[in-house]
Amino acid sequence: MPTRIQSIGIAALLVVGASFDAARAQTLDPLIAAAKSEKELSFIAGPTTFGGKKGLAEIEAAFAKRFGFDARIRFAAGPEMNAMAARVISEYKAGGKASTDIYLGSLGQFANLVRENALEEINWSETFSWIARPMEETVSRRGVLVYSSPRGIIYNSNLIPADKAPKSYEDLIDPKLSPTWAGKIAVPPYPNWLVELSLIWGEERLKDFTRKLVAIGGGWLRYGEEERVLSGEFPIMANIGDSLATQWKWQAKGAPLVAVLGANPGDTSYFHLGVPKNSGHPNLAKLFVAFMISKEGQAIVEKHEFRSSHLVDSSRMAKHLRDHKIKLQEPKDLFNFYLKGGGAKLNEELVKMLKQ
């Protein structure tokens, strides 16, 4: 039996919790009421974002059901994330309305947007009960982490048996293992994954790895071209930007594609959603961002893209990391690195090394 003092303490905690929930509702209800008058949301992003038009149609219906009103999502395929971030910044500086009410991008792009003060700072975790503080902290409340994309190696398990397969990036250049794929390994032409890997390894170790990897490379392969690994043109790819999602997508189709995280902690791309300060429909935009990190929103993204946030406990990504005891690179470290303008010189050096 609890003592009288314990009972008073428990009661006090319940009162504080109830008061906090009530305060949160008072913040959320006016937001929902204001969003009802905005009617539609403009969203410009890559053509397959959140499952493209099919996925966004599901999101639109679930979004309306969650908040109790109809709002149309006007989706248009746009430029890649760097170009879209530049557009958001230029539109904000010009003083007009943003062409997109929400922006989706990685930490490098968010660093540029935060430096230019182009995104609205929002107290996400105090407004929405399902948003935890770590989901917003990385980008200083200018957005919410919507999905995490650990990088890694992918290979064709019909061509490379498990006992000869790499277990890390370092295995790719190991003289005992590399003869299996020397001259046949695909290398992505992008330096950004190597720049970010330097935060885990250090620059000198990273440069030595890059020189050795390029020496055994069999050709360039861009992200999204993993079918060339499945076809056998390349038995293995040194890195792909969303390795686990790529594996899950193809294994669901019965394809022999296996992903291996290349580093420990896993080097990772983190994607956030934010609201431009000059959004024409800011209330709808805030609700949409919050919805995409809810269980319903994450389930739709998983269904169409096999992606999710590792910070949402119910997500496939969170479960996979827990089950396999995998730790990821700290997003805050990456964001601060880019916020300070880091990586420019190393990026130039790596571009030259990759072209050799």
Tokens of 60: 């639109």
* Position 12 pLDDT exceeds 50: no
Q: How far is CA 176 from CA 156, 182, 323, in A?
A: 19, 11, 30
Per-residue pLDDT band for 7 (boundaries 50, 70, 90) equals very low
Distance in angstroms (rounded) separating the CA atoms of residues 92 and 154: 40
CB burial class (10 A; 0-12, 13-18, 19+) of residue 164? Answer: middle
DSSP state of 68: T
Q: What percent of the chain has pLDDT over 90?
A: 90
Model confidence at 14: pLDDT above 60: no
Q: Comparing 25-29, 46-50, 259-263, which segment has the lowest mean pLDDT?
A: 25-29
Q: What is the pLDDT of residues 161-219, one digit of tens each?
A: 999 999 999 999 999 999 999 999 999 999 999 999 999 999 999 999 999 999 999 99
Overall average pLDDT of the 267-296 stretch = 97
106-115 pLDDT per residue, tens: 999 999 999 9
Mean pLDDT of 283-308: 97
Distances (CA, A) of 59 to 52, 66, 71, 276: 10, 10, 11, 21
Residues comprising the chain, all counted: 356
Question: 314-346 burial string, b = 16+ CB within 10 Å, else e?
Answer: ebbbbeebeeeebebbebeebbebbbeebbeeb
Name the 3-class secondary structure at 185.
strand
pLDDT at residue 310 is higher than 50? yes
What is the gyration radius of the CA atoms in the chain, in angstroms?
22
Q: What is the pLDDT of residue 133?
A: 97
